[in-house]
Structure 1
């Protein structure tokens, strides 16, 4: 893992991108390089400012810089989807996100299953009680999905839409009176496919924030009793693969000893042609390069501490 982090961080395209934004590459060890990149990207590539991703501003970049951003993102693995590395996994995990992502990622996972990917355990669709924005409501309405209030509602609707199921076979959860403390689980049993569990996790810091990706992964791992040597496939969007893969290595592979592969949705698949696809701008790519840097820094710190 350390070699993988060092290779990604030290890649020539990333060095060129830092130089384009006025940075001087440091002569230091990996931990200090990650610290430099975290600080540098925070100063130059953080367009969220603590807001949700849809509320991030778009930087005004000249055409040459915008093209360099796109080339760098492709070189760092944020653009092109790749197929799963194995023909079979113990579990398939679909990561939640914005409304369009909920629809597309669930559809892609079902495409993989119907295309012959074997899953011996369960399909886990992981989200939170984050309220949907007005734009997300419009996105869902365009796809014929109504009456969703939260991210996990959108994921549940995406499962029912992709699988043609109407009601869960099993339900569980706790309504604690606040979404940061509550959790829910709905399990569907589609014919000929593994069980599909839609899970919303509580926050590990409920006084500060909603549940994030690492919270949902840890919560799911405890529910499914993730075992050493289990192979887990994560499905997300290509732009999030580096950062969410490193998060999963830190939150699942290190404590449980399981294997992790992470793939992005392939927009060329016929199953996805009818579903809305966002426009990915240079600012979005810069933001997620920063996310990957921060995730790799956290993973490296965990590896050194362990």
Structure 2
């Protein structure tokens, strides 16, 4: 397996649909993806990107979906051969899902912190505060985006262990993280911070997901073409959440999107980082494939032959 990282579709403002489609094709045809598929007995067809994405979606549903519609902490861990487990972790590294990277620009108009499990809410808000203290300039508002997903008992117990006892939902945990990281709703000096609870676009089926929170936030602010948006998440989620942000913010609003994973050594979060297993990485490779499939479909509607 080559040692170079596989680039994600560019988040540059005004990126042509054909370029996004070509970069998606490069990612799904990359050596790490193909070697993962081969390790699980698959042989990707030589076909157009849209058809390959559909094939990969189906393949990953059969081999890498350990959630079965459940929340991520409830996913089962597969019993993998040690050699395959090592291959999975190395592929994840080359796909940009393991190592944290700093923001590539010094100035952004907007910074959004994506919610998640309770420990992630504290870690990501803590990292956002670190970035501001370290000199990152945000000319607009910092927004922490979450859903009304009820916290599990384990999440509530973890928060209670550090003295946080009034959190019932994900957005409550984000709010606690903001107050802990920034001291109030406004860092000093720095931009104001807002915590938003997004509704689901399909409330009878599921809670709000990443794209829902990004769309909801976009409806609360005034986005202009060329605005730079920094998305803060965990490294394991960077590929799929970056593609979601391009689809929901970059393409319709003409924004530039950079997505970075938290460096846990700089986040000043009191809760321990869960161990990321090969099964977790495979699950999020599947998430990236599905997000890229949706993004590819949206840009192919602009250029039908992409």
State how 1:55-204 maps to structure 2 within 5 Å: 55-165=74-184, 188-204=185-201
Measure how far apart 1:190 and its partner are.
Answer: 3.0
Q: What CA distance in whole angstroms lies between the structure 1 residues aligned with 2:97 and 2:186?
A: 33
In structure 1, C-alpha distance between the alignment counterparts of 2:49 and 2:283, rounded to whole Å = 21
Q: Which residue of structure 2 lines up, in the alignment, with residue 300 of structure 1?
A: 296
Equivalenced residues, count: 283
Contact 1:124/1:196 (8 A) holds in 2 = yes
Asked if 1:282 is matched to 2:278, the reply is: yes
- Give the superposition deviation at 1:270: 6.6
Deviation string, structure 1 residues 183-215 (Cα, Å, up to 9, x no partner): xxxxx2333110101000111112222211111
Correspondence for 1:41: 60
| Length-normalised TM-score, structure 1 | 0.90
Query: 1:116 Cα shift?
Result: 0.2
Which one of the candidate residues 249, 253, 256 is aligned to 2:253? Answer: 256
Map Cα deviations across residues 151-172 of structure 1 (whole Å, 9 max, x no partner). Answer: 000000010111112xxxxxxx
Q: CA deviation at 1:141?
A: 2.0
Does the Cα contact within 8 Å between 1:130 and 1:151 map onto a contact in 2?
A: yes
Q: Deviations over 1:52-110 (max 9, x none)?
A: 10110000001001001001100111001111010000000000000010010000000
Matches of 1:140 and 1:276, distance apart in 2: 11
CA-to-partner distance for each residue in 1:129-179, whole Å, 9 max, x for gaps? Answer: 1000011112212333221000000000010111112xxxxxxxxxxxxxx
Q: Does structure 2 retain, via aligned residues, the 8 Å contact 1:132–1:151?
A: yes
Cα distance in 2 for partners of 1:134, 1:113 equals 32
Counterpart check, 1:219 vs 2:238: no
Say which SS state the counterpart of residue 25 (structure 1) adopts. Answer: coil
- Specify the alignment match of 2:16 in structure 1: none
TM-score when scaled to structure 2? 0.90
Assess, with a 3 A threshold, how the Cα gap between structure 1 residues 110 and 270 changes in structure 2: closer, same or farther: closer
Instruction: Indicate how the Cα distance of structure 1 residues 142 and 4 shifts in structure 2: closer, same or farther if over 3 A, else same.
Output: farther
Gaps of at least 5 residues in structure 2 are: 1-19
Pairwise CA RMSD of aligned residues? 1.1
Gaps of 5+ in 1: 166-187
2:43 equivalent among 2, 24, 28: 24
Secondary structure of the residue aligned to 1:224 is coil
